[in-house]
Structure 1
Amino acid sequence: MLIIGYCMGIRSERRLCEEVHVNLAYRWFCRLGLEGDVPDHSTFSKNRHGRFRDSDLLRQLFETTVARCIAEGLVGGEGFAVDGSLVRADVNRQHA
């Protein structure tokens, strides 16, 4: 599910769970089928801050994924891009 979130720009885990609940393509990708239960959003933060905090698992998963993308020719490694966009905030504390 997190791969979907990263690829589709869904930053909120709560929103990600809602999207997976209603989007058939996302459900298929996650192997949930039509009847499968979508995990609660709190499952992600509990795992991130608990089970995986002291584990090397997520780094290994990331490195394996990148290596597979390189092997399949999806990533070349010739260059990189950084988004340094500046966005003016429309905030005025006196006009709440």
Structure 2
Amino acid sequence: MLGPKQEAQAALFYEFSLEDHVPQDHLLRSIDRFVDLNSIQVHLAEFYSHTGRLSVIQN
């Protein structure tokens, strides 16, 4: 008996960069300079763990 069939496991971590996926001429890039979303973190703080690493990397 060989045991249960082994299936490939998906990666636990991956790297994703918006810079690599949003074209330079995309509308979102021109809007980004006028919109400040930093205050949203205060409103959503209760949904995040107080231990461990931040879920969003701030620049």
TM-score, structure 2 as length reference:
0.31
Question: Could you say which structure has the greater relative contact order, defined with CA pairs below 8 angstroms and 6 or more residues apart?
Answer: 1
Q: TM-score, normalised by structure 1?
A: 0.23
